[in-house]
Amino acid sequence: MDINQLLAVMTPEIYQRILTAVETGKWLDGSVLTPPLRDSAQQAVMLYQSRHNIDAEHMTVAAGGEIKFKSKAELKRDFAVDITAMARDTDNAANENNIARFDHDQL
């Protein structure tokens, strides 16, 4: 299978499964990737990223095939947005999931 055929059949779901396998060294069913299979899977991930990774994270392959390096300021901005969103979600969850608390002798 050539590169174009591979990328034509690789859906975002397949990409995510291969990416998880490369990151963990195992397929979802728990079977271990052999070193040659891991290398091939990693190449497939990089090829997919080079064609589809429009919003590249730091140290990933961006669309066009270039490795994306973010500046310290960009990373701080990204992490600040993530932390703000996480805090907001935590506050919303705390307000929505109030639970009654009782002392042992009150039961």
Q: pLDDT of 78-96, one tens digit each?
A: 777 666 666 666 555 555 5
d(CA 61, CA 44): 12
Q: Report if residue 36 sits inside a domain.
A: yes
**Portion of the chain with pLDDT greater than 90, in percent:** 30
Range of the domain at 27: 1-52
Number of domains in the chain: 1
Q: Report if residue 63 sits inside a domain.
A: no
Q: Report if residue 85 sits inside a domain.
A: no
Tell me the pTM: 0.53
Query: Which residues, at least 6 apart from 70, have a Cβ–Cβ distance to it below 8 Å?
Result: 57, 58, 78
Q: Report if residue 35 sits inside a domain.
A: yes
47-86 confidence digits (pLDDT tens):
888 887 766 665 667 767 777 767 778 777 877 766 666 6
Q: Report if residue 34 sits inside a domain.
A: yes
Q: Report if residue 58 sits inside a domain.
A: no
- Token look-up 């990409």 returns 15
Q: Report if residue 83 sits inside a domain.
A: no
Q: Report if residue 102 sits inside a domain.
A: no
